[in-house]
């Protein structure tokens, strides 16, 4: 067990445990806070994968904006501060069975693929992932068009969200 493997196992167990608490927690605000810890675990996974920009953007965008949006939405859609009634609907066993089936199916699908046991090659020295990402996102030979379309999508979502949630007196 090398240090990397121990680190990965710790982070993965933490993230999966938090994810499980997200979907089974009775108190919805607690579920949103467990989501924060799950997202943090995913950010640490990115850092382990040497995708440092993704890790920081994950914290800024997901934890700093999306998770807070969830907490606001949870607080704004209830009459009193306590949760009422069961949080699982009456077919939850079917959902659980489907989820387990999905996982087992994916597992067996991946077992048949030969590339499963590749290990990571070392990064070339002086390799700056952030600069490479910047080049890829803004060069015409790279992905500038999807990048610009994504920003148009965000503007559309912004306008749509404001319009839908606007409180007309």
Partner 1 sequence: MDFLKDPLKVAADWLLGIFASWGMPEIAAQILLGFLGILLLITLLMVLDIFLVWVERKVVSRFQDRIGPNRVGPFGLIQPFADIIKLLIKEDITPGGADRVVYNLAPILSMMSVLILWAVIPLAPTILGVDADLNIGALYIIAAGAIGTLSIIMAGWSSNNKYSLIGAFREVAVMLSFEIPMLTVMLIPTIFAGSMGIVTIINKQDTWFFFLAPLAAMIFFIAAIAELGRAPFDMGEAESELVSGYNVEYSGMKFGMFYAGELLHAFTFGGFWAILFFGGYRFFGLELVNPLLAIAILFFKAFIGYWLIMWVRYTLLRIRIDHMLAFNWKFLTPVAFVLLMVTALMNALLADLPGWLYISGMFLSNVLLTWGALEIARHYSRGEREKVEGAKQVVEVHH
Partner 2 sequence: MVPLSWYLIFAAALFSIGLFGVLSRRNAVAILLGIELMLNSVNINLAAFWRYGDDVSVMAGQVFAIIVFAVAAAEVAVGLALVISVYRRRNTVIADNIDMMKW
- Residues near partner 1 (CB under 8 A) are 3, 27, 29-30, 33, 36, 52-53, 56-57, 59-60, 63-65, 67-68, 71-72, 75, 81, 128-131
Q: Does 68 bind partner 2 (CB under 8 A)?
A: no
**Contacts (CB under 8 A) with partner 2, residues 114-143:** 115-121, 123-124, 127, 129, 132-133, 135-137, 142-143
Size, binding site for partner 2 by CB under 8 A: 91
Q: Does 4 bind partner 2 (CB under 8 A)?
A: yes
| Binding map of partner 2 across residues 5-44, x = CB under 8 A, - = no contact | x--x---x--xx--xx-xx----x--xx--x--xx--x--
| Binding map of partner 2 across residues 72-101, x = CB under 8 A, - = no contact | xxx-xxxx-----xxxxx-xx-xxx-xxx-
Torsion angle (degrees, nearest 10) of CA 146, 58, 160, 150: -10
Nearer to partner 1 by Cβ, of 4 and 156: the residue is 4
- Planar angle of CA 109, 113, 116, nearest 5 degrees: 105
b/e sequence 58-75, b meaning 16+ C-beta within 10 Å = bbeebbeeebeebbeebe
Can you tell me the distance from the alpha carbon of 95 to that of 55, in angstroms, rounded to the nearest whole number? 31
b/e sequence 145-165, b meaning 16+ C-beta within 10 Å = eeeeeeeeeeeeeeeeeeeee
DSSP designation for 80: S
Nearer to partner 1 by Cβ, of 84 and 89: the residue is 84
Nearer to partner 1 by Cβ, of 102 and 138: the residue is 138
Orientation angle between helical segments 129-138 and 144-165, nearest 10 degrees? 80
């Amino acid at each position: 067990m090398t240090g990397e493997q121990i680190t990965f196992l710790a982070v993965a167990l933490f993230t999966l445990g938090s994810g499980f608490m997200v979907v089974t927690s009775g108190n919805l605000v607690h579920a949103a806070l467990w989501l924060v810890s799950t997202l943090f675990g995913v950010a640490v996974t990115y850092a382990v994968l040497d995708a440092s920009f993704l890790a920081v953007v994950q914290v800024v965008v997901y934890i700093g904006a999306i998770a807070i949006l969830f907490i606001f939405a949870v607080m704004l859609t209830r009459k009193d501060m306590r949760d009422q009634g069961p949080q699982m609907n009456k077919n939850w066993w079917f959902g659980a069975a489907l989820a387990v089936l999905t996982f087992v199916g994916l597992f067996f699908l991946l077992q048949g693929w030969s590339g499963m046991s590749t290990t990571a090659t070392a990064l070339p020295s002086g390799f700056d992932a952030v600069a490479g990402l910047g080049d890829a996102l803004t060069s015409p030979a790279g992905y500038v068009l999807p990048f610009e379309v994504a920003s148009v999508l965000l503007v559309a979502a912004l306008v749509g969200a404001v319009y839908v949630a606007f409180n007309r007196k």
